[in-house]
Structure 1
C-alpha cells in the first residue's frame, strides 16, 4: 500500500476507475468530505496558524507568567476578603451581644410583669371572696364564678392523674435516610397533630385538667407547628413533650390505652423510634392558663 493509500485510509486514488468499459464511472466513489476526513488530519485553521507562526512551539515562559499572574490575583482577592472578615468580626460579635442583652432584658421585664399580674389577680380574688362570702346570694354567685373559671382553665388544679411523655428519637447515624423523616429535610418525628390527638384522647378518657409542657390547655389555647418547633399558646416547647392530665388514673388509663392518641404514639415508636411512656401519678399540679377577653359570643344553637 502506497503512502497516498495510507493517507486515504486504505483507499487508492484509482479505485473505482475503469478505462476498459464504455460509460463506466471514472470518478472515485468515495465522497469528497469523507476523503477529506481521511486524508486531512489537521484542521485548516490550525494549519494556517502553524504556518503563520512558522511552526514554532508556544513559549512555555509566557504561559507560566499568565498562570502565575492569575494565581497572584486570586490570592490577593482571598487575602482581602479574609482581612475584611477579621475587621468586621468584632463589630459582629458586639452586635450579637447587644441583641442577646436586649432579649434577656425583654424576657426579664416580661417575667416581672407576669409576676405582678399574678399578684394583683390573687389580691382581686381574695377581695372578691371576702365580699361575696358574707351572704347566701353572694355564695351562690361565687360558686357560679368558680365553675366558670374552672371551665376557662383560670384556676390551678392538683390531684392524681396520668403523665404521657413523648421523646424525639436520637440522631440517626445515616442522615441521608429520608425514610425516617416525617417532614422532608427535617429530623422531627413528633408533630403538633400528634400532641393534639393525645390531648383530645385524654379529654375523652375523663381528664379534668390538662397541661402540655407545663402550659394549661384551655378554650383559647392552640397547639400548632411553627417550622421545626411546636408552640403551645404561642410558647415554644421542646422534647421530651410531657402531657399532664388530672383525673381518676385507673379509669383514665383503661380508656386511654385503647385511644387513637396512644395508638398514634405507638406507631411513631415503631416507625421512628419515638420514646413513649405513660405513668400514673398520685399528685399532679396544673397551673392556671391565660384568660382572654371575648369580643363576642353566643350560646351554641342560637
Structure 2
C-alpha cells in the first residue's frame, strides 16, 4: 500500500491557503502586546486631560467623608451627653430606695426586739408567782437556749476566712480598686461551721448572725447569706466552747485541711485564734405552726 493510499486523498476543504490549527487571537495578542489595552486607553485619556484621579476631586471626596464622620460622631456625643444626667438620676433614685429600705428594716428590727423584751417581761411577771409557773419558765428558758434565741458569751475559738487581696494593676489606672475574683464559697463556711459543731462548740455565729436550727448558709450572686442576712467578707466564724478542745478537734478535721489547701493554692486568708470572751447574739425566732417531739425519753 502506497504512502498516498494510507494518508488518503485530501478533502475539498484542505486547500493550500487554509490553516487547519489557527493560533487563537487572544494568545497572539498576549504575545505581541506586553501591556493591557486599558493602560493605553488610560494614557490616552490622561493626554487629553480627561483623567479622573485629579487631586482636586480627591480632596473634595476626603473633605466630604470627614464631614459625614464628624456629623455622625457629633450626633452620638450629643445623645450620650443627653442620656448621662438621666442615668445618674436613676442611679441616685435606686441608691435612695436602697437606703430607705435598709433604714426601714433597721427600725422594724428595733421594734421587734423591743416587743420581744416586753413580751418576755410580761410572761415572767405572769408565771413567776408560783412553783408551776416557775417550772414553765425554766422549760421555756431551756428551749430558747436550744433554739439559740438568747445572747451568750464565753471563751471559744475564732476562725477567719478572707478572699485574696487584689493585686494592683499598674497598667490600668482607671481601676485602682478592682476586686479579685471571690474564692471563699458557701460550702467553705458550711464545712467550718459543721466542724466546729463536731469539735464541741456550744454556740456558733457567722459574722454577727447566730447559727441555730433551720439556719442556712448560701450564696446569692456575689453575696453570702446567713439566715437570709448578708454577711460581708472577711467572714468571721465564732464558736463558744472549751478552746483547747475546739482547736484540737478542728485542726484534724476535713474543713481545716480544705481551707489550708485553699489558702496555699489561691492565697485566701485563713486564721484560727483563741479568745477568752466571745459574745454571740441571739438568733431570730421563727413562727412555728406545728411541731412534734421525736426521740423523747
Sort the TM-score into its range (normalised by shorter chain): 0.7 to 0.9
Paired position in structure 2 for 1:262: 256
Paired position in structure 2 for 1:79: 74
| TM-score, normalised relative to structure 1 | 0.75
DSSP 3-state at the match of 2:205 = strand
- Preserved CA contact (<8 Å) 1:205 1:252: yes
- Measured in 2, the distance between the counterparts of 1:239 and 1:40 equals 80
User: Which consecutive residues of structure 2, in runs of 5 or more, have no partner in the other structure?
Assistant: 1-20, 171-179
Task: Give 1:212-251 correspondences, 5 Å limit.
Answer: 212-251=206-245
Alpha-carbon shift at residue 193 of structure 1 (Å): 0.4
Structure 1's 142 and 70: CA in aligned 2 closer, same or farther, altered over 3 A?
same
Task: Give 1:90-109 correspondences, 5 Å limit.
Answer: 90-109=85-104
1:61-116 deviation per Cα after TM superposition (whole angstroms, max 9, x unaligned): 33332232222222122222222333333333333223222222221121111101
Structure 1's 117 and 80: CA in aligned 2 closer, same or farther, altered over 3 A?
same
DSSP 3-state at the match of 1:278 = strand
- Measured in 1, the distance between the counterparts of 2:210 and 2:40 equals 85
Q: Which runs of 4+ in 1 moved over 6 A?
A: none
Paired position in structure 2 for 1:14: none
DSSP 3-state at the match of 1:201 = helix
Structure 1's 196 and 58: CA in aligned 2 closer, same or farther, altered over 3 A?
same
Q: Does 1:127 align with 2:116?
A: no
Q: Does 1:281 align with 2:275?
A: yes
Measured on the aligned residues, the alpha-carbon RMSD in Å equals: 3.3
Alignment size in residue pairs: 261
Q: Which has the larger radius of gyration?
A: 2
| TM-score, normalised relative to structure 2 | 0.76
User: Which consecutive residues of structure 1, in runs of 5 or more, have no partner in the other structure?
Assistant: 1-25, 176-185
- Measured in 2, the distance between the counterparts of 1:136 and 1:123 equals 22
- Measured in 2, the distance between the counterparts of 1:231 and 1:169 equals 20
Structure 1's 234 and 69: CA in aligned 2 closer, same or farther, altered over 3 A?
farther
Alpha-carbon shift at residue 217 of structure 1 (Å): 0.9
1:191-241 deviation per Cα after TM superposition (whole angstroms, max 9, x unaligned): 110010000000001111111011111222211112223111222222211
- Measured in 1, the distance between the counterparts of 2:22 and 2:140 equals 115
1:132-185 deviation per Cα after TM superposition (whole angstroms, max 9, x unaligned): 22222222222221222222221111111111111211114689xxxxxxxxxx
Alpha-carbon shift at residue 122 of structure 1 (Å): 0.6
Task: Give 1:1-302 correspondences, 5 Å limit.
Answer: 47=38, 54=45, 56=51, 58-172=53-167, 187-299=181-293
